[in-house]
Each structure stands twice: as structure tokens, then as C-alpha cells.
Amino acid sequence: MQILILNCGSSSAKFAVMDPASGVELIAGLAQRLGSPQASLDWKWQGQKHTRALPGADHQPALRAVVALLHEVGLAAGINGVGHRVLHGGARFSDPALVTPAVIAGIEACIPLGPLHNPPNLLGIRIAQELFPGLPQVAVFDTAFHATMPPCAYLYAVPMEWAEQHQARRYGFHGTSHRFVAADALTRLGLTDQPSGIITVHLGNGCSCAAVRDGRSVDTTMGLTPLEGVVMGTRSGSVDPALIGYMAKRLELPADKIIDLLNKQSGLQGLSGLSNDMRTLIEHAGQGHARARLAIEVFCYVLAKTIAGLVVPLGRLDAVVFTGGIGENSVPVRAKVVELLGFLGLSLDVNLNAGHGRTAGGRITTGSGSCALVVPTNEELMIARDTAALVA
């Protein structure tokens, strides 16, 4: 079976064709900078990278170019279903869903919760329905894995009517990644069918943690939107809500502009004044850049403090699992976070950490108690598997 995976953002569209049984990625690419003169289609096929200019193209012609490419390389006829990443499913969707008119209406109803992401996600679904008539389409929701959180974890301490009438509550994100990594980690630890408590730590430009008890999410750090939680590349993470009103007055800007700054000019970027890229900050911190060093310290401190707090809903700790671009690749960040969490019984193995745990099943700590692992995420494979299951 072959599954086409689509992830449509506001100015880009990622795609891949995968065999969900073997996990083999047959082709993968990105249509990027859509709507601009620099729009392009970039892909990797049989180990070779290719690019094709799409000047001025938006989603519609870009996705048509993707389908034309799939015909060129002989993959289009073998596709059995299309899986779509959808950011926000609200409280409506706790599992992947075959796309029907009712499901589309449900995704539309969640647009106020995901105004930047759900519209392009929907556009990708509609275009794929047009270009692949008759093929089953499946929506895989970023929020679904966290639908198992109890009310004490997802409710804010605000008037209950806000949640009941306006869906103002915590939902969490990165669910597809957390689900894939949690399942992989439990298999590596031999805990698939046993009581377990692990904390999955997805670190990229966006960052979030999840407390996973017996394979189910019971708490997470992102909230109503992906702005809440730990420090991220350009997002502030959790701040005093009164900061928005305070800075709106000080800067003489509307509140929504302050929220935009918290999303796009804060986090590592805001603290360092240099970059949102952890690799750049580590390089410059080593050269004496004080704000780069401070940004890394704040990032690791907040992350460690948050991980420690997520032990509460678990009642135990079998493993802390690092994933995502930073989590999988940043030796210094993992080292600092594990050091700060030493009181939980974690003891870093410097050599294993330097090798990203590849020679030890992902493990980067010593001892037989709580451990830390590095587990590469694969959201595309998770979407392919979900799609294949519903198609079958």
C-alpha cells in the first residue's frame, strides 16, 4: 500500500509518498514560498534532490504540480489514500477520521481555534479531493492524542462558561509526534504492555512536552494555542497574561499585535537578539555572546522545570524521551536538561549523549532506574499508518 501525505501550511505544502508497512519513503518534498515570485517545488527522489520554479504559484497550482510530479515518476497510479495533517480538531476529534462532509464541517467549526492553520489544511483536503477523485482522504489531528487528558489537566481556572460555551480550554499540539515517539520508546523499554510513565519532549522551532501514562497522554504543555508552554524558537511560551495588556499600553499597540510579537519575535529569538536556531546560539555562546548563552540557559531551565512538573500526573518516571530537531541533535541542550533533572535519578553518559544514543537503543543515561532516551520522530509515517488503517 502507498499513502500520499499532505501538510499544507499558510505558505507551503509538504508532501511524501510512503509505504506504511515498511516505513519506506518513496518520495518527499516541499512546495514553499507560495504566492511569491520565489515559489518553488523541491523534492527528493531516489536519493537525488531536485527543484522546479513555480513563480507566483499558490496552493492550487502547487498541488497540481505535485500530482504532475507523482505521475512523472510513476507513483500516482499506486496511491491508495491521502492522509492530511490537520492542526486543530478541538474537542470534536479524538481520532483520525475519514473525510466526509460532516468531518469537513467539523474542521471548519474549529477554525476560530486554529485560524492560521485549519484554513490551509482544509484547502489541501479540497484540492486533493479534486485531484484524486474517489481516493479516500483521512484527516489526522495534531490535537487528538491529547484528547485523553482529564479535566483537571485541560481546564483553565476561568469562568466555567468560557469552556462550556466558547471551547476555551487546553488542547495541546504535536500530538502525532508525541504519539509516535511514545509508542517507539515504550517498545524500546519493553513497557508496551506494562504500567509506565514517560515524558516525551518535542524540541524544534516549536516545543512541547507530554506526560504519557500507559501510552495515553494525561497532560501536555501547549494549551488553547501553540503559544503556551516552554520556551520555543520564536514563541515566548507561558507568560503572565497581564503582560499583554501592560505591553500594549507601553508600546501603544493593540493586544493582537503583542500576541503576534509573543509568537514571532520572542523565545530564543527575543532573548538572544540573534537567532531562533539553537545551533547558531550554541556556536555564538561558545564565542562569548552573552545573550546567546542566556537564551540557552533560560530554554533549558524552563524545560527542566516543566519536565519535573509533569512527573506529578504520572506518579512515576520511567523515561524522559527527547525528539525533534533540537531534541535529536543538540548534545549540549540534552546534557544541561539531564543535569538539572539529576534529582530524579537521571545520570548522563557523556559518550552515549555525544552519539545521540544510537549505540544503546536511544539511551543516553547510566543506571537501571529512570533514564533519558533520544528517539527520532516520524510524523509522516504516523499519518501514513493512520490513513492506511482507515483505508483498509
Active-site amino acid positions: 142
Identify the helix (H) or strand (E) that includes residue 303.
helix 290-309
- Only one residue has cell 508600546, namely 251
Identify the helix (H) or strand (E) that includes residue 302.
helix 290-309
Angle between helices 331-340 and 290-309 (to 10 degrees): 50
Query: CA-CA distance, 201 to 318, in Å (whole number)?
Result: 14
- One DSSP character per residue, 330-380 reads -HHHHHHHHHHTGGGT--B-HHHHHTTTTTTTTB-B-SSSSEEEE----HH
Contact (Cβ atoms closer than 8 angstroms) between residue 85 and residue 121: yes
Cβ density class 270-279: b for 16+ within 10 Å, e for less: bbbebbbbbe
Query: CA-CA distance, 202 to 29, in Å (whole number)?
Result: 22
Q: Cell triple for residue 130?
A: 479534486
Query: CA-CA distance, 301 to 237, in Å (whole number)?
Result: 13
- One DSSP character per residue, 206-231 reads SEEEEEEETTEEEEES--SSTTSSS-
Which residues lie closer than 8 Å to 350 by C-beta, 6 or more apart? 335
Q: What is the DSSP letter of 148?
A: G
Identify the helix (H) or strand (E) that includes residue 202.
strand 197-203
Contact (Cβ atoms closer than 8 angstroms) between residue 33 and residue 50: no
